[in-house]
Structure 1
Amino acid sequence: MMQLAGLFTYPVKSLRGHAVDEATLEPCGLTGDRRWMLVDPDGRFITRRQVPAMAAMSVETTVDGLILRHPDHGDCRVTTPDATAPVIDGRVWKDELPVRLGNPQADGFLAAILDRPARLAWQHDPRRRPIATAHARPGEHVSLADGFPLLVTTEASLAALNDRLAVAVPMARFRPNLVIAGATPWAEDRWRRIRIGDVELRLALPCARCIVVTQQPDTGERLEGNEPLPTLRAMGHATTAGIMFGQNAVPERLGKVRIGDPVEIIETGEGLG
């Protein structure tokens, strides 16, 4: 039987995530997932693609905001911006959306770690960012994730990949939200709709992977060249859109998800071509 074996949220885009036992699924993704991001002075998002040192920062969520932690720079407490906070035009890829700037006391903390100016920004209204793809439907929205509310992976596909690698990689490299156990390798490429406990998801399209999957998840260091990207390509998990691992997903029925929830395949289709 397939079941949910891993559940992860990433409060700040590109910083470390949290493993949780349960979470609430909202229209834009899991509650609290990627609602914050770091932006440059022009409001453009900053990620580990440009600044691998972001991997060293962890995040603790609090009732009124966040605590940012770094092994060399200590802690910085940030409160969620209220209605009086400055609103700027933020940018994630080609998407422009209003975001509220976080506490200015974090600016120096972030600049010291990243060696560049940066501010924390909070997405106060996810309804202002529609999913910008032909695979979305009217009224579907996304947090500050790259493109879709959720990323689904399977333990079996990671195991199949690691069987081909000289040095195994952890699932954390791929930053999933939902990890499923009990599937066969690469079965998720053919899933179109699934049920996890009481919630339902539509799997929209495979996730094209970037340089972040070549970085160590806690340091940003690259120790194995460009792996696992070349091996994924050699295994046939590439299309004209990129090298793929995992499936981008959109919520269709909302509710709670919990570790151990049964997973049911509702609809399948063609896999990678």
Structure 2
Amino acid sequence: MCRNGFEIRSTEGPTLARDHRRWETGDRPAGDAPGAGVDDERGEHLCLNGPSMEELRIPLKPPPGNPVVNCRVFSDDIQGRDCGDQASRWLSRYLDSGKTFRLVQFEPQMSPRRPAEQVALFPTSEKVAYPDIGAVMLLSEASVTELNTRLDRDVTVSQFRPNIVVSDCEAFQEDSWDQIQIGSVTLHRVMSCGRCIFTTVDPETGVKDPKQPLETLKSFRQCDPSEKHIHKTAPLFGQYYSVRRDGVLQVGDPVYKISH
């Protein structure tokens, strides 16, 4: 951990392009979740907002003179550039746990990690910074809609924190997309996403449900017995991909399934 730091999770996803997986900070209490986004005018600042909090604006790129701190993510060592005392004071005040929290950012020259636990399933070239498994996770809106037919209260796709959301397909069709192309980017499916208790936290309010939707997912989205050593009892919802060809993808791009 980075001085009691954890990756920002279970909050509404900011639009941070490729940098959004490079930030790490502390967990937070239940209640209204903080909002995050990028300055719309120049795209040079990360902006954080929270109830009864002034807006925090910090540079997307921390000053090079800021110290590099050692972090620990899932027992792996990794570094991060400290984002300064202003961010630390804001987060520590918001989290209100009596501890001091620091915000750090991963930089390209720092040594990345290999994906946790399921390392053998990813290409040897696959590296991550602060995510536990992989950097690209895809989920369809139809799968969330199907899940909602089984719940008393609907959830949104943001509750599952994908960074690629696909529309106009059938529920769970993404389970069979072994290789796809979106824009100029080619992606190869590595494994299903085993879901944990973070899915029970509403990203808009920060409030944790005692059971749902995790309990319902467990009732119909269990893995094949041959994969129990990987997922154990975690239900599967969404797919992890590795990037085979870099490029640009945009909202509205069609998704092509590549056949062999």
TM-score normalised per structure 1: 0.79
Shift of the 115–208 alpha-carbon distance from structure 1 to 2, 3 Å rule, reads same
Cα distance change on mapping 1:146 and 1:159 into 2, 3 Å: same
Which amino acid in structure 1 is aligned with residue 76 of structure 2?
Answer: D
Larger strand fraction of residues: 1
Instruction: Give the counterpart of 1:119 among 102, 118, 125.
Output: 102
Mapped to 1, the partners of 2:8 and 2:109 lie a distance apart of 14
3-state DSSP of counterpart to 1:257: coil
Task: Work out whether 1:56 is the aligned partner of 2:33.
Answer: yes
**Residue aligned with 2:103, SS:** strand
Separation of aligned partners in 2, 1:88 and 1:247: 32
Structure 1 residue 207: Cα displacement: 0.8
Of 5, 8, 25 in structure 2, the residue corresponding to residue 13 of structure 1 is 8
Question: Any unmatched runs of 5+ in structure 2?
Answer: 1-6
Alignment-derived partner of residue 228 in structure 1: 213
Shift of 1:94: 2.4
Check whether the contact 1:200–1:251 (CA below 8 A) recurs between aligned residues.
yes
Question: The residue matched to 1:33 in structure 2 has which SS?
Answer: helix
**Matched residue, 1:35:** 22
SS at match of 1:222: coil
> Does the 8 A contact of 2:142 with 2:172 survive in 1?
yes
Decide whether the 8 Å contact of 2:221 with 2:237 is kept in 1: no
Q: What RMSD in Å do the two structures reach over aligned CA positions?
A: 2.2
Cα pair 2:78 2:129 within 8 Å, conserved: no
Q: Residues 84-123 of structure 1 correspond to what in structure 2 (within 5 A)? A: 84-116=65-97, 117-123=100-106
Deviation at 1:157, TM superposition (A): 1.0
For residues 107-256 of structure 1, the aligned pairs below 5 Å read 107-116=88-97, 117-125=100-108, 128-132=111-115, 133-223=119-209, 225-238=210-223, 240=228, 241=231, 242-256=234-248
User: Which has more helix, going by share of residues?
Assistant: 2
Q: Which of 37, 44, 48 lines up with 1:68 in the alignment?
A: 48
Structure 1: distance between partners of 2:22 and 2:46: 11
**Aligned residue pairs, count:** 237
User: Is the CA contact 1:154–1:180 (under 8 Å) kept in the aligned structure 2?
Assistant: yes
The answer (yes or no) to whether the contact 2:183–2:247 under 8 Å persists in 1 is: no
Q: How far apart in 1 are the matches of 2:185 and 2:32?
A: 31
1:150 Cα deviation (Å)?
A: 0.7
Asked whether the 8 Å contact 2:221–2:236 carries over to 1, the reply is no
Distance 2:252 2:107 in 1: 31
Question: Percent of counterpart pairs with the same letter?
Answer: 30
Please say if residues 193 and 203 of structure 1, whose CA atoms lie closer than 8 Å, have aligned partners that are also in contact: yes
Q: How much does 1:200 deviate?
A: 0.8
Distance 2:149 2:12 in 1: 26
Does the CA contact (< 8 Å) of 2:32 and 2:51 recur in 1?
A: no
Q: Which residue of 2 aligns with 1:258?
A: 250
Q: Which has the higher contact order (CA 8 A, sep 6+)?
A: 1
Does the C-alpha gap of structure 1 residues 197 and 245 become closer, same or farther in structure 2, counting only changes over 3 Å?
Answer: same
* Alpha-carbon separation, structure 2, partners of 1:248 and 1:267: 18
Q: Structure 2 counterpart of 1:75, which letter?
A: E
